[in-house]
Structure 1
């Protein structure tokens, strides 16, 4: 099968391209910008475009499927050529459904926790040598590629994202998967650039639940009031399995999960991660993994990439990085960090750089998000605001919305880096929260 990727360099798109190459497909692609690690990984597989840019001449009538990424625009010249030739154009999730329509699809959804839960499930299945197809949004230890597609596997585990499918398909990605087994971890307003109101955002999750196949299963977080409302108001038939935070304790800096089989030591920490673990346990149970086998495997789970991930520093200082940028994720990460390190001085750095996080209306969602930290620092780039054509934001407004008078706010990367260089990283503990890189800050030095 011949496939062509428009915007092949994306973190999700390049993984799918590699998975198809591994499956034996003929893969080509284009992009106007490809960064690491996508560039090296595509090059290793022999599918890195020879030059950057869009080339309509690459689009020929013998292509079986064109896969369109979100990075491309509606007026993309390769997309126009594909339409002109009448080729079949798929969004990323649409193509994944096509590859898994004859399998049992397990879809993990929610505003937060879905990457970690999906990673936990895959870790457990891999530990017990249970082979499944999958798609997950973060690099996971023991996995070379974050997409796997085969002809033979009976199950496919999918991280279900509520963001848009493609420039020409404005449905939420997870609405295309039609899950047989689903999980919903939580609902907290995000992607304000697309979902203008909270109800509009919640509507995507109502539709997701409505898309569960008849007689399917939904595992859901009963501690989240919005999730419970969606589940209780659903009109379609499926089996409902609630879950909540399990009992645990922290002893000598180690998290111990309380179970009928005794205390289970874990490598991850934070109440939100224990809640994620419980959701993963229920999903694994539906896939035939008994609790004893689940706990046996989960002890060695060290976390998904950039989810409370410990950074090895040259000076041996204690530093974690987390992908947290949305308010609910920041609050959960800060709470976990403060609970884990009660006796140390805690430094928390947060970078605001998404459209939502830089919107003055949405900023109110961050109230008290950094409470509990001895030193709380927020960084955003005034240049980023200009690039996004957004109105300037004052540091005072940030402090007001965060409801934290002691907050330090930096709007210039050089000033942030100068402050960082003055800190003795061997004293205290540090957490860096961002889906960016703090203006190029090297966290290992």
Structure 2
């Protein structure tokens, strides 16, 4: 088949295009702005990338199928052409993934507000280390496995990051509803994606819909310390295992401690010691990611009666995912990190982990309120509590987008609130100004700093500019 990806340069769409290419299909894609590394990966794989959108060009290509990214809506010239002519079949990305990769597979669907990418990568990595050749599709850029997609052996499990965001402008169901789960990991559950969910109950509802389609021979792995997640129980039609610190968790995390190299902890399965882990990742949240990944990998290869037979080799060598606690630069006096954290809870956790790992260093955070949730003023108080874990904070501008009905975060008020708590803070009118403020904060003492960029976007390129000047 000739398959056309509208919006091919995004991480998820690009990895999916490469997955479909590996299945033997001809893949062509278009996007408005195409940059490395995804542009290089696509070109190296023989995927033709067309810049911009052109209805006549699409007509001439005559694809057998068009896959629409969820960033596209009415008004795009290629979307309008598809709707007016009905010349070619079109589907959402999740529907395409089910059709080409997930149908008939034993799928591990990794969900939750936080930790999806790391847990997905870790689950696939553990299966590989167990000499299994899993299929997988990861929404970020993992260091382990060495790429974000693989068809794998058709008889092996398929690991996929299950996003609760909607599928397409014509399909408002969450993406993960399409993924035919056998094992569901529910890492945590909070209010997020304020552009499509009205409130926490709305978010819970879509997770309830996912849980309804886990089969009787499947598994639901749920965070036993998360009240929102636990509120979805009881579930009578499938096996449920709780993972966490709680004494009644089926898989308990015990003896967690931060080390100079990362962290260490034990995993105890229903009272029996299973694994002792000493690895490079920091933070209790990453210990939970590891626990979920170990259990999911074990259950996907067994009937569930004795997961502790799974040895989970290679955890000490796991390198993580780009933009998740990624050290971009390190010297005697300064560590520069980049992290995808943009939700208040994720920021709270990452700053706490850095505080524990670097107790004698000053933590300087640069935060870009860019996501549809983090830029809203309803998140100002939770964001204040999260960012207060840093010593100094630079806040980028919260930009108004198409909808005028939302109240954008008052970043000046956020900075004032931080200063009232003893945190040096500045709200910048532009990201260029944020870079200058960050440089001033870094030059104002003798070093011994951890600088962490917190954004789910590019921060207008100031991360690279900061690194180049140091």
Fold shared, TM-score > 0.5 on shorter chain: yes
1:323 corresponding residue in structure 2:
340
1:78 corresponding residue in structure 2:
78
Per-residue CA deviations over 1:423-442 (Å, capped at 9, x if unaligned) read 15842222221112333222
1:28 corresponding residue in structure 2:
28
After TM superposition, the structure 1 stretch with the greater mean CA deviation from structure 2, 91-100 or 357-366, is 357-366
Contact 1:59 1:78 in 2 (8 A): no
Query: CA offset at residue 217 of structure 1?
Result: 0.7
Contact 2:361 2:449 in 1 (8 A): yes
* 3-state secondary structure, aligned to 1:357: coil
After TM superposition, the structure 1 stretch with the greater mean CA deviation from structure 2, 414-423 or 310-319, is 310-319
Q: Return the TM-score normalized by structure 2.
A: 0.86
Per-residue CA deviations over 1:183-226 (Å, capped at 9, x if unaligned) read 10000110101112221122111111112123321011000001
After TM superposition, the structure 1 = structure 2 runs for residues 219-258 of structure 1, keeping only pairs within 5 Å, are 219-232=221-234, 234=235, 237-245=237-245, 246-247=253-254, 248-258=256-266
Match status 1:355 vs 2:376: no
Contact 1:309 1:322 in 2 (8 A): yes
Match status 1:268 vs 2:270: no
* 3-state secondary structure, aligned to 1:312: strand
* 3-state secondary structure, aligned to 2:461: coil
Query: CA offset at residue 82 of structure 1?
Result: 3.3
Query: CA offset at residue 131 of structure 1?
Result: 0.5
Contact 1:10 1:71 in 2 (8 A): no
Contact 2:260 2:357 in 1 (8 A): no
Change (3 A) 1:261 1:93: closer
Match status 1:385 vs 2:400: yes
Contact 2:111 2:184 in 1 (8 A): yes
Q: Give structure 1 stretches of 5+ with no counterpart.
A: none
Which among 307, 316, 325 is matched to residue 308 of structure 1? 325
2:249 corresponding residue in structure 1:
none
* 3-state secondary structure, aligned to 1:161: coil
1:216 corresponding residue in structure 2:
218
1:94 corresponding residue in structure 2:
95
1:172 corresponding residue in structure 2:
174
CA distance in 1, matches of 2:343, 2:89: 35
Change (3 A) 1:127 1:253: closer
2:140 corresponding residue in structure 1:
138
CA distance in 1, matches of 2:453, 2:203: 28
* 3-state secondary structure, aligned to 1:256: strand
Per-residue CA deviations over 1:15-64 (Å, capped at 9, x if unaligned) read 11122222220112222222332222222233233442223442469633
1:415 corresponding residue in structure 2:
433
Change (3 A) 1:145 1:365: same
Per-residue CA deviations over 1:157-203 (Å, capped at 9, x if unaligned) read 11100001112111110111121111100001101011122211221
Q: Return the TM-score normalized by structure 1.
A: 0.90
Change (3 A) 1:199 1:23: same
After TM superposition, the structure 1 stretch with the greater mean CA deviation from structure 2, 45-54 or 17-26, is 45-54
CA RMSD of aligned residues (A): 2.7
Change (3 A) 1:315 1:96: same
After TM superposition, the structure 1 stretch with the greater mean CA deviation from structure 2, 293-302 or 15-24, is 293-302
Change (3 A) 1:440 1:388: farther
2:250 corresponding residue in structure 1:
none
2:387 corresponding residue in structure 1:
370
Contact 2:105 2:157 in 1 (8 A): yes
Per-residue CA deviations over 1:202-261 (Å, capped at 9, x if unaligned) read 2111111112123321011000001011122x4x50000111041222344542223547
CA distance in 2, matches of 1:249, 1:120: 20
